[in-house]
Structure formats: C-alpha cells, structure tokens
Structure 1
Amino acid sequence: MTAAPLLVRPARAGDPEEVRRLYEICLRTAALGRDATGLVGDPRLLGDVFVGPYLAHSPDLAWVLAGEADKAVGYILAAADTAAFERELDRLWWPRVRRRVTGPVKAGSPDAWLRSYVDDPPHTPESITGRYPAHMHIDLLPEAQGGGNGRRLCATVIEALRERGVPGLHLGVNARNGNALGFYEHVGFAMLDDGPETKILGMRTTP
C-alpha cells in the first residue's frame, strides 16, 4: 500500500502537544540534521532558541509537515521583518527564557553556546535585512526528508511572503552542513555571506 502524502498545514501554536512535538523535532535534527538527544543537558533549550520564538511571535508564518494521525514530522518557521522580530524577542521572549535557565554550564559545551545565545542574542546586520528582510528556519525528521517535502515547505513560506509584498528572504546554515547548503542552493537561494562558521543565503521573493 502506498503511503499517503504528507500534508503541509499551519502550525497549531496554541496547542501544547504540538509545541512539544516541534521542540522534539528541533532536538532530533539539531546535530547537523541528526539527533542531538543526549548531547545537550537541557533539551528544551534548543526549542526555546529555534522554535518557541516563532510560535509565540510569528505564528502566522509557521507551518508543519503532518504525517500519520496528523502528527508533525517537520516544520518551517519564518518572520517577515527580521529586525522587528529580533527587537520583540529582546523585549519579551529572551527575558522569559533567562528566568527559566539558571545555574552553571560546562564551558565549551552545546549548553554553553545556547546559553550565550540566550544571554546575548545575535542580531542580523542591516546589510542583510535591508534587501532580505524575512528569514526562515526549517527542520525535517529523516522519514520526511526527500520526496520534495522540503521544497513544498519552502514554497509555502515564499508564497506567503510574496502575498505580503516582502521583497527578500534569508537564512543561516552551519558551514559544515553540506547537505543543507546544497538543498538551499537547489531551491534557489544564493550565497550572501560565506562565513567560516555560518553561511548566510538569500532569495529575492518579489520582482
């Protein structure tokens, strides 16, 4: 029997069970696309950095790839105005996360990197946001990879941004993640900043 195609639908940002599932997907894909379970002492912190901000502050640009029993097996999250989004997180999201995460962490550990991100969140330079104001983040479990699913999720975000008149979209990729870099370039992204640790790619979404 042929499996039913996976469905792209809006994320249910107000559903605690779905939020937990998206946090789980983030954890299970955080090690360059592989499972990071056991690599971080606070597994929730990954979701607090890479999933929660979008569900709380940009829920209208959040979609999931749903499989059997409507269970999420992937997601794509975006913000139309990165600069405004980062300011809102500075004011509302990061202070909330800081109140939750306390105590020492091992220097050089993944937890230490995540805590540094929470304590001093990076801000995208205007040289990027000026032409590519939106940004996105996508993760798929291994069983959802291939078959055009990532492309469908990207197309969903790009179309939504076009409808809003947002002129450009960017994203960051770990420089060691060759598979992801190849995928984004195949979808139509071009290199904007060829950094040694993080590559920034962009795409114009309107003429």
Structure 2
Amino acid sequence: MNNHSAIRPATHADLPALYHICLQTADAGVDASALYSDPEYPGQRFAVPYALFAPDFAFVLEVDGEVMGYVVAAPDTRAFEAQLNEEWWPVLQEKYRHRQPEAPLDENLLNSIRHPDAAAAGLVSQWPAHLHINLLPSQQKDGWGRKMIEHQLAALRAAGVRGVHLGVSLKNEQVCAFYQRMGFRHLLRSNAIYMGQLL
C-alpha cells in the first residue's frame, strides 16, 4: 500500500479536483468527458455542493499530494435539498441561463439544475442521509473504496445519523455486490438502483 495515501477532509482548494474526478467517473465510473460540453457540469450536481454545504462530510483520498478520489454526504437529505434550492441552484440557474445543450448529457444536467428534483419520500424516511463516492480508475483497487465509505459511515454515525442511502447507475449494476458487502441492501430501482443501510 502506498505510504503517502491518506483520507482527509476536503478543503476549498480541492474543488478543482472534485470537478475533475466527477467528470472522469461520471459515465458509470469511467470518463464522461465526451458526454458533457462543460467539464464542470457533473461536479456542479454530484460533488462540489457537498463540499460547500456539508463540509463535515466531504473527504478526499490524497495520493502523493494529488487528490484521486472523494466521498461526500448530506446527513439530512431534505435539509440539504432545501439549502441547495435556496443557495446553490439559483446561482447556477443564473450562470447557465443562456446555455444550450451541446453534448449528449448536457440536457439532463441542465434540466436537473433548472428543475431540481427531490429524493423519494420512501428513501429519506428511514435512510435520511445520502452519499456519493468516486475514485479515479487508478485507485479503484487496494481497498480504498471500502476505506472511504467506512470513513464516511463513521462520520455519519458520530453525527447521530440513523440511516444512509446511495444511488448506483443502471449501467453500473455490478458494483452493487461491493455495496452489499459493505452492509447496504437494495431499496428500490427507478432512474438508479438505490441501496441503503441503517447506522
């Protein structure tokens, strides 16, 4: 194992790395650069707002001084949604007011910013927190995914959170076995495969 690898809290200086890693993993774990016309698009939804608005639950994997992965969470999904509706989405709605879709996934992403959705009531009732994890392909081994999720679950437990859920891309169903080994179980299948565990 690399002696210069560590999981640490994310800082504002890590935001460019969060954007980069999110883009490099946004196509079911692989590079989505060809799918978005703006390299910041996926990170605006799935990574950066967590570091800004739930910093106590934003962690990065640093390898030899370079950020190679992250795990982020919102301890209270409903409260997080409300905060983004107030402080994050309006900023992006203005920033992208005149943006038109140019690449295959632009439209979905812009729609999610202009018309933010909410987690299913059945998810947040028992599993009120949610998390996202992404590692660059070079780090998708050596157990770092497990270590990062364990680090996040410990932080959520310490904050008194009683349950957490996550979504798996329908294109990435094989990763569900990993989450099952981590104690997650299948909850529902819709636009993604949702899994959760009680803490």
Of 47, 57, 69, the residue aligned with 1:74 is 69
Q: How many residues align?
A: 199
Tell me whether 1:189 sits opposite 2:188 in the alignment: no
Q: Which runs of 5+ in 2 are unaligned?
A: none
Q: When the two structures are superposed, what TM-score results if normalisation uses the length of structure 2?
A: 0.94
TM-fit CA distance, 1:104: 4.7
RMSD: 1.6
1:30 aligns with 2:29: no
Task: Quote the sequence identity (%).
Answer: 35
CA contact (8 A) 2:146 2:182 kept: yes
Which residue in the other structure is 1:150 paired with? 145
Contiguous gaps of at least 5 residues in structure 1: none
Distance in 2 of aligned mates of 1:107 and 1:46 = 14
CA distance in 1, matches of 2:122, 2:27: 29
C-alpha separation in 1, matches of 2:133 and 2:93: 24
Residue deviations 1:166-201, cap 9 Å, x none? 110001111120232222122111011022x31110
Deviations 1:115-164 (A, max 9, x none): 01101111012221111011000000011111110000110111111111
Report SS of the residue matched to 2:88.
Answer: helix
Q: Which residue of 2 aligns with 1:203?
A: 197
Residue deviations 1:78-124, cap 9 Å, x none? 01000000011001100001111133534893000000110111101
Structure 1 stretches of 4+ with a deviation exceeding 4 A read none
Output the CA distance in 1 between the equivalents of 2:68 and 2:48. Answer: 17
- 1:163 & 1:116 partners in 2: Cα distance? 35
Matches of 1:107 and 1:45, distance apart in 2: 12
Q: 1:187 to 1:44 in 2, by over 3 A?
A: same
Helix, strand or coil for the counterpart of 1:73? strand
Are 1:64 and 2:60 matched, yes or no? yes
